[in-house]
Structure 1
Amino acid sequence: MTRQGPFDAALYQSLLARFGATFGRDETPWRAWPLADAPAALAPQDVVLADDEVTEDVITRVATAGATLIATEREGGRWVDTVRSPMGVWVLESHADSDAAHPPAFVSVLLAARALHFPAHDALCLARAWQTGEQDWPTDFARFPRVRHAALAAPEQLPPPFAPCPADLGLYAVVPTAEWIERLVPLGVPTVQLRFKSPEGEAVRVEIERAARAAKGSASRLFINDHWRVAIELHQQLGTDSGIYGIHLGQEDLDVADLDAIRASGLRLGVSTHGYAEMLRVAAISPSYLALGAIFPTTTKVMPTAPQGMGRFQAYVKLMQPVIPALVGIGGVNAANLPEVLAVGVRSAAVVRAITEASDVPAAVTRLKAMFER
Protein backbone atom coordinates (compact mmCIF):
# COMPACT_ATOMS: atom_id res chain seq x y z
CA MET A 1 0.00 0.00 0.00
CA THR A 2 1.80 3.14 -1.22
CA ARG A 3 1.54 6.35 0.75
CA GLN A 4 3.60 9.50 0.66
CA GLY A 5 4.34 11.78 3.58
CA PRO A 6 4.27 11.14 7.35
CA PHE A 7 2.30 8.08 8.31
CA ASP A 8 1.98 5.91 11.44
CA ALA A 9 1.65 2.42 10.00
CA ALA A 10 1.39 0.77 13.42
CA LEU A 11 -1.57 2.96 14.41
CA TYR A 12 -3.26 2.33 11.06
CA GLN A 13 -2.98 -1.44 11.37
CA SER A 14 -4.03 -1.34 15.02
CA LEU A 15 -7.22 0.54 14.20
CA LEU A 16 -8.15 -1.85 11.41
CA ALA A 17 -7.49 -4.86 13.62
CA ARG A 18 -9.43 -3.44 16.55
CA PHE A 19 -12.44 -1.95 14.77
CA GLY A 20 -12.70 -3.92 11.53
CA ALA A 21 -15.26 -6.31 12.98
CA THR A 22 -17.29 -3.44 14.48
CA PHE A 23 -17.56 -1.25 11.40
CA GLY A 24 -16.58 -3.57 8.58
CA ARG A 25 -13.52 -2.95 6.41
CA ASP A 26 -12.59 -3.15 2.77
CA GLU A 27 -9.36 -3.90 0.98
CA THR A 28 -9.24 -0.64 -0.95
CA PRO A 29 -5.63 0.64 -0.99
CA TRP A 30 -6.41 4.09 0.44
CA ARG A 31 -3.52 6.49 -0.13
CA ALA A 32 -2.75 9.96 1.21
CA TRP A 33 -0.52 12.37 -0.72
CA PRO A 34 0.78 15.84 0.06
CA LEU A 35 -0.34 17.98 -2.86
CA ALA A 36 3.22 18.46 -4.14
CA ASP A 37 3.75 14.68 -4.32
CA ALA A 38 0.35 13.63 -5.66
CA PRO A 39 0.61 11.54 -8.84
CA ALA A 40 -0.58 13.00 -12.11
CA ALA A 41 -3.09 10.17 -12.51
CA LEU A 42 -5.25 10.12 -9.38
CA ALA A 43 -7.75 7.40 -8.47
CA PRO A 44 -10.88 7.31 -6.27
CA GLN A 45 -8.87 5.82 -3.39
CA ASP A 46 -6.48 8.82 -3.30
CA VAL A 47 -6.68 11.55 -0.66
CA VAL A 48 -4.76 14.71 -1.53
CA LEU A 49 -3.69 16.89 1.41
CA ALA A 50 -2.97 20.60 0.92
CA ASP A 51 -1.66 23.00 3.57
CA ASP A 52 -3.32 26.10 2.13
CA GLU A 53 -5.82 27.26 -0.45
CA VAL A 54 -5.82 25.34 -3.71
CA THR A 55 -6.34 26.45 -7.28
CA GLU A 56 -9.39 25.65 -9.37
CA ASP A 57 -7.17 23.47 -11.57
CA VAL A 58 -6.32 21.27 -8.59
CA ILE A 59 -9.96 21.09 -7.51
CA THR A 60 -11.02 20.06 -11.02
CA ARG A 61 -8.23 17.50 -11.33
CA VAL A 62 -9.15 15.79 -8.07
CA ALA A 63 -12.88 15.89 -8.76
CA THR A 64 -12.46 14.45 -12.26
CA ALA A 65 -10.63 11.46 -10.77
CA GLY A 66 -13.31 10.92 -8.12
CA ALA A 67 -10.63 11.39 -5.46
CA THR A 68 -10.76 13.40 -2.22
CA LEU A 69 -9.13 16.76 -1.55
CA ILE A 70 -8.57 18.13 1.95
CA ALA A 71 -7.27 21.71 2.03
CA THR A 72 -6.30 22.92 5.50
CA GLU A 73 -5.73 26.47 6.69
CA ARG A 74 -4.69 27.75 10.12
CA GLU A 75 -6.82 30.41 11.81
CA GLY A 76 -5.36 31.25 15.18
CA GLY A 77 -5.51 28.12 17.28
CA ARG A 78 -7.85 26.25 14.95
CA TRP A 79 -7.62 24.21 11.78
CA VAL A 80 -10.12 24.86 9.02
CA ASP A 81 -10.46 21.83 6.74
CA THR A 82 -12.27 21.98 3.41
CA VAL A 83 -13.16 18.43 2.36
CA ARG A 84 -14.07 17.90 -1.28
CA SER A 85 -15.18 14.42 -2.29
CA PRO A 86 -17.77 12.80 -4.57
CA MET A 87 -20.20 13.27 -1.64
CA GLY A 88 -19.89 17.05 -1.69
CA VAL A 89 -18.03 19.84 0.07
CA TRP A 90 -17.76 20.22 3.84
CA VAL A 91 -15.87 22.90 5.75
CA LEU A 92 -15.06 22.03 9.34
CA GLU A 93 -13.01 23.72 12.04
CA SER A 94 -11.30 22.13 15.03
CA HIS A 95 -8.79 22.86 17.76
CA ALA A 96 -5.17 22.73 16.59
CA ASP A 97 -3.29 20.27 18.80
CA SER A 98 0.03 20.83 17.02
CA ASP A 99 1.74 22.97 14.41
CA ALA A 100 1.45 20.28 11.74
CA ALA A 101 -1.68 20.38 9.62
CA HIS A 102 -1.54 16.67 8.80
CA PRO A 103 0.63 14.84 11.35
CA PRO A 104 1.25 11.08 11.05
CA ALA A 105 -1.50 10.10 13.51
CA PHE A 106 -4.03 12.29 11.67
CA VAL A 107 -3.21 10.66 8.33
CA SER A 108 -3.34 7.18 9.84
CA VAL A 109 -6.75 7.69 11.45
CA LEU A 110 -8.08 9.36 8.29
CA LEU A 111 -7.09 6.43 6.07
CA ALA A 112 -8.19 3.83 8.61
CA ALA A 113 -11.62 5.49 8.79
CA ARG A 114 -11.87 5.37 5.00
CA ALA A 115 -10.98 1.67 5.10
CA LEU A 116 -13.68 1.22 7.74
CA HIS A 117 -16.24 2.57 5.24
CA PHE A 118 -16.61 6.09 6.67
CA PRO A 119 -17.10 8.77 3.97
CA ALA A 120 -14.39 11.41 3.63
CA HIS A 121 -16.12 14.14 5.67
CA ASP A 122 -16.80 11.73 8.54
CA ALA A 123 -13.26 10.36 8.36
CA LEU A 124 -11.98 13.93 8.73
CA CYS A 125 -14.15 14.40 11.83
CA LEU A 126 -12.69 11.26 13.39
CA ALA A 127 -9.10 12.16 12.50
CA ARG A 128 -9.44 15.60 14.12
CA ALA A 129 -11.21 14.20 17.19
CA TRP A 130 -8.63 11.49 17.77
CA GLN A 131 -6.58 11.95 20.94
CA THR A 132 -2.87 11.36 20.38
CA GLY A 133 -1.77 8.16 22.09
CA GLU A 134 -5.33 6.84 22.47
CA GLN A 135 -6.65 3.58 21.06
CA ASP A 136 -10.30 3.97 22.04
CA TRP A 137 -12.89 5.23 19.55
CA PRO A 138 -13.45 8.98 20.14
CA THR A 139 -16.52 9.91 22.18
CA ASP A 140 -15.57 13.35 23.56
CA PHE A 141 -17.97 15.69 21.76
CA ALA A 142 -15.82 18.75 22.56
CA ARG A 143 -12.95 17.37 20.47
CA PHE A 144 -15.03 16.93 17.32
CA PRO A 145 -15.00 19.65 14.65
CA ARG A 146 -17.65 22.31 14.21
CA VAL A 147 -19.31 22.65 10.83
CA ARG A 148 -18.74 25.91 8.99
CA HIS A 149 -20.28 24.79 5.70
CA ALA A 150 -23.06 24.00 5.35
CA ALA A 151 -23.58 25.50 8.80
CA LEU A 152 -27.04 25.92 10.27
CA ALA A 153 -25.87 28.39 12.91
CA ALA A 154 -22.79 30.53 13.46
CA PRO A 155 -20.54 28.82 16.05
CA GLU A 156 -20.04 32.11 17.87
CA GLN A 157 -23.78 32.87 18.09
CA LEU A 158 -25.76 29.68 18.62
CA PRO A 159 -29.57 30.02 18.62
CA PRO A 160 -31.85 29.00 21.51
CA PRO A 161 -32.73 25.30 21.61
CA PHE A 162 -35.97 23.96 20.20
CA ALA A 163 -38.75 22.93 22.55
CA PRO A 164 -37.67 19.72 24.28
CA CYS A 165 -39.33 16.36 24.01
CA PRO A 166 -38.89 13.36 26.30
CA ALA A 167 -36.01 11.02 25.61
CA ASP A 168 -38.40 8.07 25.73
CA LEU A 169 -40.43 8.77 22.60
CA GLY A 170 -40.97 5.01 22.50
CA LEU A 171 -42.44 3.24 19.53
CA TYR A 172 -42.35 5.73 16.66
CA ALA A 173 -44.61 4.80 13.74
CA VAL A 174 -43.93 6.55 10.42
CA VAL A 175 -46.95 6.25 8.13
CA PRO A 176 -48.02 7.67 4.75
CA THR A 177 -51.58 8.85 5.39
CA ALA A 178 -53.84 10.44 7.98
CA GLU A 179 -55.97 7.30 7.84
CA TRP A 180 -53.05 5.45 9.38
CA ILE A 181 -52.80 8.08 12.12
CA GLU A 182 -56.50 7.52 12.85
CA ARG A 183 -55.86 3.79 13.18
CA LEU A 184 -52.76 4.05 15.37
CA VAL A 185 -53.72 6.76 17.86
CA PRO A 186 -56.50 4.64 19.46
CA LEU A 187 -53.94 1.81 19.80
CA GLY A 188 -51.81 4.03 22.02
CA VAL A 189 -48.76 4.35 19.78
CA PRO A 190 -46.64 6.89 21.70
CA THR A 191 -45.20 8.74 18.69
CA VAL A 192 -46.47 8.92 15.13
CA GLN A 193 -45.23 10.70 12.05
CA LEU A 194 -47.23 11.63 8.97
CA ARG A 195 -44.98 11.25 5.93
CA PHE A 196 -47.45 12.32 3.25
CA LYS A 197 -45.92 12.83 -0.17
CA SER A 198 -47.93 14.97 -2.57
CA PRO A 199 -47.21 18.02 -4.75
CA GLU A 200 -50.77 19.27 -4.23
CA GLY A 201 -50.87 21.97 -1.56
CA GLU A 202 -54.54 21.57 -0.70
CA ALA A 203 -54.21 17.79 -0.43
CA VAL A 204 -51.30 18.25 1.98
CA ARG A 205 -53.28 20.66 4.11
CA VAL A 206 -56.32 18.37 4.26
CA GLU A 207 -54.20 15.38 5.20
CA ILE A 208 -52.29 17.21 7.94
CA GLU A 209 -55.46 18.68 9.43
CA ARG A 210 -57.08 15.25 9.45
CA ALA A 211 -54.06 13.77 11.20
CA ALA A 212 -53.99 16.63 13.71
CA ARG A 213 -57.63 16.12 14.63
CA ALA A 214 -56.98 12.41 15.10
CA ALA A 215 -54.11 13.09 17.52
CA LYS A 216 -55.76 16.03 19.33
CA GLY A 217 -56.39 15.26 22.99
CA SER A 218 -54.61 11.91 22.80
CA ALA A 219 -51.37 10.67 24.34
CA SER A 220 -49.80 10.21 20.88
CA ARG A 221 -47.22 12.77 19.76
CA LEU A 222 -47.79 13.69 16.11
CA PHE A 223 -44.85 14.82 13.98
CA ILE A 224 -45.33 16.16 10.46
CA ASN A 225 -42.66 15.24 7.95
CA ASP A 226 -41.36 17.96 5.65
CA HIS A 227 -44.46 20.22 5.37
CA TRP A 228 -43.37 22.68 8.07
CA ARG A 229 -45.24 25.73 6.71
CA VAL A 230 -48.62 24.00 6.75
CA ALA A 231 -47.90 22.43 10.13
CA ILE A 232 -47.14 25.82 11.69
CA GLU A 233 -50.22 27.46 10.15
CA LEU A 234 -52.55 24.71 11.33
CA HIS A 235 -50.95 24.62 14.77
CA GLN A 236 -51.67 28.34 15.13
CA GLN A 237 -55.22 28.03 13.78
CA LEU A 238 -56.22 24.99 15.81
CA GLY A 239 -54.85 26.33 19.08
CA THR A 240 -52.23 25.19 21.57
CA ASP A 241 -53.68 21.68 21.70
CA SER A 242 -53.72 21.40 17.93
CA GLY A 243 -52.78 17.75 17.88
CA ILE A 244 -49.50 18.60 16.13
CA TYR A 245 -46.55 17.99 18.43
CA GLY A 246 -43.62 18.62 16.12
CA ILE A 247 -41.99 18.65 12.69
CA HIS A 248 -39.48 16.21 11.25
CA LEU A 249 -36.98 17.33 8.62
CA GLY A 250 -34.33 15.60 6.55
CA GLN A 251 -30.91 17.09 5.85
CA GLU A 252 -32.00 18.53 2.51
CA ASP A 253 -35.02 20.21 4.12
CA LEU A 254 -32.93 22.05 6.70
CA ASP A 255 -31.41 24.32 4.07
CA VAL A 256 -34.79 25.73 3.02
CA ALA A 257 -36.89 25.55 6.20
CA ASP A 258 -37.42 28.65 8.35
CA LEU A 259 -35.92 27.28 11.55
CA ASP A 260 -36.66 30.48 13.47
CA ALA A 261 -40.35 30.17 12.59
CA ILE A 262 -40.45 26.55 13.72
CA ARG A 263 -38.71 27.46 16.97
CA ALA A 264 -41.07 30.38 17.61
CA SER A 265 -44.13 28.19 17.03
CA GLY A 266 -43.23 26.02 20.00
CA LEU A 267 -43.36 22.88 17.89
CA ARG A 268 -40.64 20.31 18.41
CA LEU A 269 -38.09 19.61 15.72
CA GLY A 270 -36.66 16.21 14.86
CA VAL A 271 -33.94 15.76 12.24
CA SER A 272 -32.60 12.75 10.35
CA THR A 273 -28.82 12.28 10.33
CA HIS A 274 -26.56 9.77 8.59
CA GLY A 275 -23.11 10.18 10.10
CA TYR A 276 -20.70 12.30 12.12
CA ALA A 277 -20.62 15.49 10.04
CA GLU A 278 -24.41 15.64 9.78
CA MET A 279 -24.83 15.04 13.52
CA LEU A 280 -22.34 17.81 14.32
CA ARG A 281 -24.07 20.15 11.88
CA VAL A 282 -27.48 19.59 13.44
CA ALA A 283 -26.26 19.66 17.05
CA ALA A 284 -25.50 23.36 16.62
CA ILE A 285 -29.23 24.19 16.52
CA SER A 286 -30.17 21.95 19.48
CA PRO A 287 -33.14 20.08 17.93
CA SER A 288 -35.69 18.26 20.05
CA TYR A 289 -34.43 14.88 18.88
CA LEU A 290 -31.96 13.32 16.47
CA ALA A 291 -32.83 10.35 14.28
CA LEU A 292 -29.77 8.18 13.62
CA GLY A 293 -29.62 5.82 10.66
CA ALA A 294 -30.35 4.15 8.44
CA ILE A 295 -29.25 1.32 10.72
CA PHE A 296 -30.42 -1.52 8.47
CA PRO A 297 -31.31 -1.74 4.76
CA THR A 298 -34.63 -0.09 3.98
CA THR A 299 -36.86 0.09 0.93
CA THR A 300 -39.13 2.89 2.12
CA LYS A 301 -36.93 5.67 0.73
CA VAL A 302 -33.69 6.23 -1.17
CA MET A 303 -30.90 6.72 1.37
CA PRO A 304 -27.87 8.97 0.74
CA THR A 305 -25.54 6.49 2.44
CA ALA A 306 -25.20 2.74 2.84
CA PRO A 307 -26.78 1.20 5.96
CA GLN A 308 -24.84 2.33 9.01
CA GLY A 309 -24.96 -0.98 10.86
CA MET A 310 -25.10 -1.56 14.59
CA GLY A 311 -21.43 -0.69 15.15
CA ARG A 312 -21.81 2.84 13.83
CA PHE A 313 -25.18 3.26 15.50
CA GLN A 314 -23.69 2.39 18.87
CA ALA A 315 -20.79 4.82 18.32
CA TYR A 316 -23.20 7.61 17.33
CA VAL A 317 -25.37 7.06 20.40
CA LYS A 318 -22.37 7.12 22.72
CA LEU A 319 -21.22 10.44 21.27
CA MET A 320 -24.57 12.22 20.95
CA GLN A 321 -26.66 11.05 23.92
CA PRO A 322 -24.97 13.40 26.42
CA VAL A 323 -25.59 16.30 24.02
CA ILE A 324 -29.09 15.49 22.71
CA PRO A 325 -30.74 12.94 25.03
CA ALA A 326 -33.68 12.18 22.71
CA LEU A 327 -32.32 9.83 20.03
CA VAL A 328 -34.33 7.71 17.60
CA GLY A 329 -33.00 4.68 15.75
CA ILE A 330 -34.29 4.63 12.16
CA GLY A 331 -34.01 2.57 9.01
CA GLY A 332 -35.11 -1.02 8.54
CA VAL A 333 -36.15 -1.50 12.17
CA ASN A 334 -38.61 -4.35 12.71
CA ALA A 335 -39.78 -6.76 15.41
CA ALA A 336 -36.78 -9.03 14.86
CA ASN A 337 -34.04 -6.42 15.30
CA LEU A 338 -35.77 -3.90 17.60
CA PRO A 339 -34.40 -5.52 20.80
CA GLU A 340 -30.87 -5.12 19.42
CA VAL A 341 -31.51 -1.43 18.72
CA LEU A 342 -32.94 -0.76 22.18
CA ALA A 343 -30.04 -2.61 23.83
CA VAL A 344 -27.74 0.20 22.66
CA GLY A 345 -29.52 2.56 25.07
CA VAL A 346 -31.91 4.59 22.92
CA ARG A 347 -35.50 4.81 24.09
CA SER A 348 -37.14 5.28 20.72
CA ALA A 349 -37.07 3.57 17.35
CA ALA A 350 -38.97 4.35 14.17
CA VAL A 351 -40.77 1.61 12.28
CA VAL A 352 -42.62 1.66 8.98
CA ARG A 353 -43.30 -1.69 7.34
CA ALA A 354 -43.38 -3.51 10.69
CA ILE A 355 -46.76 -1.80 11.09
CA THR A 356 -47.97 -0.81 7.63
CA GLU A 357 -47.39 -4.29 6.19
CA ALA A 358 -48.56 -6.23 9.24
CA SER A 359 -51.42 -8.67 8.65
CA ASP A 360 -52.77 -7.83 12.13
CA VAL A 361 -51.95 -4.21 12.94
CA PRO A 362 -53.26 -4.14 16.55
CA ALA A 363 -51.31 -7.30 17.37
CA ALA A 364 -48.15 -5.90 15.74
CA VAL A 365 -48.45 -2.65 17.71
CA THR A 366 -48.99 -4.55 20.97
CA ARG A 367 -45.95 -6.71 20.33
CA LEU A 368 -43.71 -3.74 19.43
CA LYS A 369 -44.87 -1.63 22.37
CA ALA A 370 -44.14 -4.49 24.75
CA MET A 371 -40.51 -4.52 23.66
CA PHE A 372 -40.09 -0.98 24.98
CA GLU A 373 -41.60 -1.92 28.32
CA ARG A 374 -39.17 -4.71 29.10
Structure 2
Amino acid sequence: MKCRKETMLLYAVTDRAWTGKQSLMEQTKAALKGGVTCVQLREKELDEEEFLKEAIEMKKLCGSYGIPFFINDSVEIAVKCGADGIHVGQEDMDAGNVRAIVGDEMMIGVSAQTVEQAVAAQEAGADYLGVGAVFNTATKLDACEVSYETLKEICETVSIPVVAIGGISKKNMQELSGSGADGAALVSAIFSAEDIEQECRELRRLAEQTFSI
Protein backbone atom coordinates (compact mmCIF):
# COMPACT_ATOMS: atom_id res chain seq x y z
CA MET A 1 0.00 0.00 0.00
CA LYS A 2 1.44 3.35 -1.02
CA CYS A 3 0.49 6.53 0.78
CA ARG A 4 -1.95 8.86 -0.98
CA LYS A 5 -1.69 12.59 -0.36
CA GLU A 6 -5.34 12.64 0.71
CA THR A 7 -4.44 10.35 3.61
CA MET A 8 -2.31 13.12 5.16
CA LEU A 9 -4.99 15.86 5.14
CA LEU A 10 -6.10 15.58 8.78
CA TYR A 11 -3.81 13.17 10.60
CA ALA A 12 -4.79 12.40 14.21
CA VAL A 13 -2.02 11.35 16.63
CA THR A 14 -3.40 9.94 19.87
CA ASP A 15 -2.36 11.04 23.35
CA ARG A 16 -4.04 9.56 26.41
CA ALA A 17 -3.11 12.65 28.46
CA TRP A 18 -6.61 13.97 27.75
CA THR A 19 -8.59 10.85 28.56
CA GLY A 20 -10.93 11.04 31.52
CA LYS A 21 -14.52 11.70 30.57
CA GLN A 22 -13.94 9.49 27.54
CA SER A 23 -11.65 6.55 26.88
CA LEU A 24 -9.01 6.82 24.15
CA MET A 25 -11.15 4.57 21.96
CA GLU A 26 -14.20 6.81 22.44
CA GLN A 27 -12.12 9.90 21.64
CA THR A 28 -10.73 8.27 18.51
CA LYS A 29 -14.21 7.27 17.36
CA ALA A 30 -15.34 10.89 17.75
CA ALA A 31 -12.34 12.05 15.71
CA LEU A 32 -13.17 9.53 12.96
CA LYS A 33 -16.79 10.69 12.90
CA GLY A 34 -15.51 14.26 12.64
CA GLY A 35 -13.50 13.57 9.51
CA VAL A 36 -9.87 12.73 10.31
CA THR A 37 -8.18 11.02 7.36
CA CYS A 38 -5.83 8.72 9.31
CA VAL A 39 -4.99 7.81 12.90
CA GLN A 40 -1.64 7.13 14.55
CA LEU A 41 -1.61 5.30 17.88
CA ARG A 42 1.18 6.74 20.01
CA GLU A 43 1.85 5.00 23.32
CA LYS A 44 4.96 5.55 25.43
CA GLU A 45 3.85 4.10 28.77
CA LEU A 46 1.81 0.94 28.10
CA ASP A 47 3.43 -2.48 28.35
CA GLU A 48 3.57 -4.55 25.17
CA GLU A 49 0.54 -6.71 25.98
CA GLU A 50 -1.74 -3.75 26.67
CA PHE A 51 -0.33 -1.82 23.69
CA LEU A 52 -1.07 -4.73 21.35
CA LYS A 53 -4.57 -5.23 22.73
CA GLU A 54 -5.32 -1.53 22.23
CA ALA A 55 -3.74 -1.53 18.75
CA ILE A 56 -5.89 -4.47 17.58
CA GLU A 57 -9.04 -2.75 18.85
CA MET A 58 -8.14 0.60 17.27
CA LYS A 59 -7.18 -1.01 13.95
CA LYS A 60 -10.65 -2.56 13.83
CA LEU A 61 -12.27 0.79 14.68
CA CYS A 62 -10.35 2.67 11.98
CA GLY A 63 -11.09 -0.10 9.49
CA SER A 64 -14.81 0.30 10.09
CA TYR A 65 -14.45 3.91 8.88
CA GLY A 66 -12.14 2.97 5.99
CA ILE A 67 -9.35 5.08 7.51
CA PRO A 68 -5.64 4.02 7.55
CA PHE A 69 -4.22 3.12 10.95
CA PHE A 70 -0.58 3.75 11.92
CA ILE A 71 1.54 2.70 14.88
CA ASN A 72 4.16 5.06 16.31
CA ASP A 73 7.68 3.63 16.73
CA SER A 74 6.90 -0.02 17.53
CA VAL A 75 7.53 -2.10 14.41
CA GLU A 76 6.70 -5.28 16.30
CA ILE A 77 3.28 -4.03 17.40
CA ALA A 78 2.57 -2.74 13.88
CA VAL A 79 3.24 -6.19 12.41
CA LYS A 80 1.31 -8.07 15.09
CA CYS A 81 -1.83 -5.93 14.84
CA GLY A 82 -1.77 -5.72 11.05
CA ALA A 83 -1.48 -1.92 10.99
CA ASP A 84 -1.68 -0.07 7.68
CA GLY A 85 1.45 1.86 8.54
CA ILE A 86 4.31 2.54 10.93
CA HIS A 87 5.83 5.92 11.79
CA VAL A 88 9.43 6.17 13.00
CA GLY A 89 11.59 9.07 14.16
CA GLN A 90 15.17 9.97 13.33
CA GLU A 91 16.37 8.17 16.45
CA ASP A 92 14.46 4.99 15.60
CA MET A 93 15.06 2.28 13.02
CA ASP A 94 16.08 3.32 9.50
CA ALA A 95 13.25 3.11 6.92
CA GLY A 96 15.14 0.52 4.90
CA ASN A 97 15.45 -1.77 7.91
CA VAL A 98 11.79 -1.21 8.77
CA ARG A 99 10.83 -2.19 5.20
CA ALA A 100 12.80 -5.42 5.50
CA ILE A 101 10.67 -6.35 8.51
CA VAL A 102 7.19 -5.11 7.54
CA GLY A 103 7.24 -6.00 3.83
CA ASP A 104 6.10 -4.02 0.81
CA GLU A 105 2.46 -3.44 1.73
CA MET A 106 2.78 -1.46 4.98
CA MET A 107 3.20 2.31 4.70
CA ILE A 108 6.28 3.79 6.38
CA GLY A 109 6.39 7.35 7.67
CA VAL A 110 9.57 9.03 8.84
CA SER A 111 10.06 12.22 10.87
CA ALA A 112 12.31 14.83 9.26
CA GLN A 113 13.55 18.27 10.25
CA THR A 114 15.91 19.02 7.36
CA VAL A 115 16.03 18.60 3.60
CA GLU A 116 18.91 16.15 4.02
CA GLN A 117 16.91 13.97 6.41
CA ALA A 118 13.89 14.12 4.10
CA VAL A 119 15.86 13.03 1.04
CA ALA A 120 17.60 10.25 2.97
CA ALA A 121 14.24 8.95 4.26
CA GLN A 122 12.73 8.95 0.78
CA GLU A 123 15.75 7.13 -0.65
CA ALA A 124 15.53 4.56 2.17
CA GLY A 125 11.95 3.75 1.19
CA ALA A 126 9.72 6.05 3.25
CA ASP A 127 6.19 6.47 1.87
CA TYR A 128 5.58 9.82 3.56
CA LEU A 129 7.31 12.34 5.82
CA GLY A 130 6.23 13.98 9.06
CA VAL A 131 7.93 17.39 9.17
CA GLY A 132 8.10 19.51 12.29
CA ALA A 133 7.70 20.92 14.75
CA VAL A 134 6.34 23.71 12.55
CA PHE A 135 5.14 25.65 15.61
CA ASN A 136 6.00 25.52 19.31
CA THR A 137 4.48 22.43 20.88
CA ALA A 138 4.03 21.27 24.45
CA THR A 139 3.36 17.70 23.28
CA LYS A 140 6.98 16.98 22.42
CA LEU A 141 9.30 19.21 24.42
CA ASP A 142 12.47 18.08 22.65
CA ALA A 143 11.12 18.84 19.16
CA CYS A 144 13.19 21.24 17.04
CA GLU A 145 11.17 23.93 15.32
CA VAL A 146 11.16 23.79 11.53
CA SER A 147 10.72 27.07 9.65
CA TYR A 148 8.10 27.63 6.96
CA GLU A 149 10.94 28.01 4.45
CA THR A 150 12.44 24.63 5.39
CA LEU A 151 9.03 22.94 5.22
CA LYS A 152 8.50 24.44 1.76
CA GLU A 153 11.95 23.37 0.58
CA ILE A 154 11.37 19.81 1.80
CA CYS A 155 8.04 19.67 -0.03
CA GLU A 156 9.66 20.95 -3.22
CA THR A 157 12.53 18.45 -2.97
CA VAL A 158 10.76 15.15 -2.28
CA SER A 159 8.10 13.37 -4.31
CA ILE A 160 6.36 11.57 -1.43
CA PRO A 161 3.54 13.12 0.65
CA VAL A 162 4.46 15.47 3.51
CA VAL A 163 2.43 16.08 6.65
CA ALA A 164 3.28 19.04 8.87
CA ILE A 165 3.26 18.43 12.63
CA GLY A 166 3.86 20.33 15.84
CA GLY A 167 1.73 22.91 17.58
CA ILE A 168 -0.84 23.13 14.76
CA SER A 169 -4.31 24.36 15.69
CA LYS A 170 -7.31 26.17 14.21
CA LYS A 171 -5.58 29.46 14.98
CA ASN A 172 -2.42 28.85 12.94
CA MET A 173 -3.12 26.08 10.42
CA GLN A 174 -3.69 28.47 7.53
CA GLU A 175 -0.20 29.93 8.05
CA LEU A 176 0.98 26.72 6.34
CA SER A 177 -0.89 27.55 3.14
CA GLY A 178 1.41 27.54 0.10
CA SER A 179 4.07 25.43 1.79
CA GLY A 180 3.36 22.43 -0.37
CA ALA A 181 2.47 20.24 2.60
CA ASP A 182 -0.36 17.77 2.05
CA GLY A 183 -1.90 18.04 5.49
CA ALA A 184 -1.52 18.55 9.22
CA ALA A 185 -0.91 16.04 12.01
CA LEU A 186 -2.60 17.10 15.23
CA VAL A 187 -2.42 15.88 18.79
CA SER A 188 -3.74 18.27 21.45
CA ALA A 189 -5.82 20.29 18.97
CA ILE A 190 -7.96 17.17 18.58
CA PHE A 191 -7.73 15.17 21.77
CA SER A 192 -7.94 18.03 24.27
CA ALA A 193 -11.13 19.38 22.66
CA GLU A 194 -14.35 19.38 24.67
CA ASP A 195 -16.29 18.15 21.62
CA ILE A 196 -13.81 16.18 19.51
CA GLU A 197 -16.21 15.34 16.69
CA GLN A 198 -17.24 18.96 16.15
CA GLU A 199 -13.65 20.16 16.50
CA CYS A 200 -12.56 17.72 13.81
CA ARG A 201 -15.31 18.90 11.47
CA GLU A 202 -13.97 22.45 11.79
CA LEU A 203 -10.35 21.32 11.45
CA ARG A 204 -11.24 19.28 8.35
CA ARG A 205 -12.82 22.34 6.69
CA LEU A 206 -9.73 24.40 7.51
CA ALA A 207 -7.40 21.68 6.22
CA GLU A 208 -9.29 21.48 2.94
CA GLN A 209 -8.86 25.26 2.54
CA THR A 210 -5.19 25.24 3.56
CA PHE A 211 -3.67 22.28 1.74
CA SER A 212 -3.72 21.30 -1.92
CA ILE A 213 -5.73 18.10 -2.31
Q: In structure 2, what is the equivalent of residue 201 of structure 1?
A: 48
Q: In structure 1, what is the equivalent of residue 174 of structure 2?
A: 339
- 1:201 Cα shift? 1.2
* Among candidates 275, 281, 305, match of residue 114 of structure 2: 275
Q: Does 1:301 align with 2:140?
A: yes
Mean Cα displacement is larger for which, 292-301 or 274-283?
274-283
- 2: CA distance between counterparts of 1:357 and 1:217? 24
Larger RCO (alpha carbons 8 Å, 6+ apart): 2
- 2: CA distance between counterparts of 1:362 and 1:234? 26
Give TM-score scaled by structure 1 length.
0.50
Q: Which amino acid aligns with 1:350?
A: A
- 1: CA distance between counterparts of 2:147 and 2:14? 23
- 1:304 Cα shift? 4.9
Q: Which amino acid aligns with 1:319?
A: T
- 1:313 Cα shift? 1.5
- 2: CA distance between counterparts of 1:166 and 1:232? 21
SS of match in other structure, 1:252: coil
Q: In structure 1, what is the equivalent of residue 153 of structure 2?
A: 315
**1:125-169 Cα deviation digits (max 9, x unpaired):** xxxxxxxxxxxxxxxxxxxxxxxxxxxxxxxxxxxxxx4111122
Q: Does 1:164 align with 2:14?
A: no
- 1:205 Cα shift? 0.8
- 1:227 Cα shift? 1.6
- 1:361 Cα shift? 1.5
* Among candidates 76, 87, 103, match of residue 248 of structure 1: 87
- 2: CA distance between counterparts of 1:175 and 1:230? 16
Q: Is the 8 A contact 2:71 2:77 kept in 1?
A: no
Identity, in percent, stands at 28
* Among candidates 27, 30, 44, match of residue 183 of structure 1: 30
Q: Which amino acid aligns with 2:166?
A: G
**Larger Rg: 1 or 2?**
1
- 2: CA distance between counterparts of 1:351 and 1:304? 14
Higher helix share: 2
Instruction: Return 5+ residue gaps in structure 1 as ranges.
Output: 1-162, 236-243
Q: RMSD across aligned C-alpha pairs, in angstroms?
A: 1.9
Cα 1:317–1:273 change in 2 (3 A) is: same
Instruction: Return 5+ residue gaps in structure 2 as ranges.
Output: 17-23
What are the residue-to-residue correspondences of 1:1-374 with 2, within 5 Å?
163-169=1-7, 170-177=9-16, 178-179=24-25, 180-198=27-45, 200-235=47-82, 244-255=83-94, 258-264=98-104, 266-305=105-144, 307-320=145-158, 323-324=159-160, 326-374=161-209
- 1:311 Cα shift? 2.1
- 1:186 Cα shift? 2.8
Q: Which amino acid aligns with 2:134?
A: I
- Matched pairs, number: 199
SS of match in other structure, 2:64: coil
Q: Is the 8 A contact 1:172 1:190 kept in 2?
A: yes
- 2: CA distance between counterparts of 1:165 and 1:342? 21
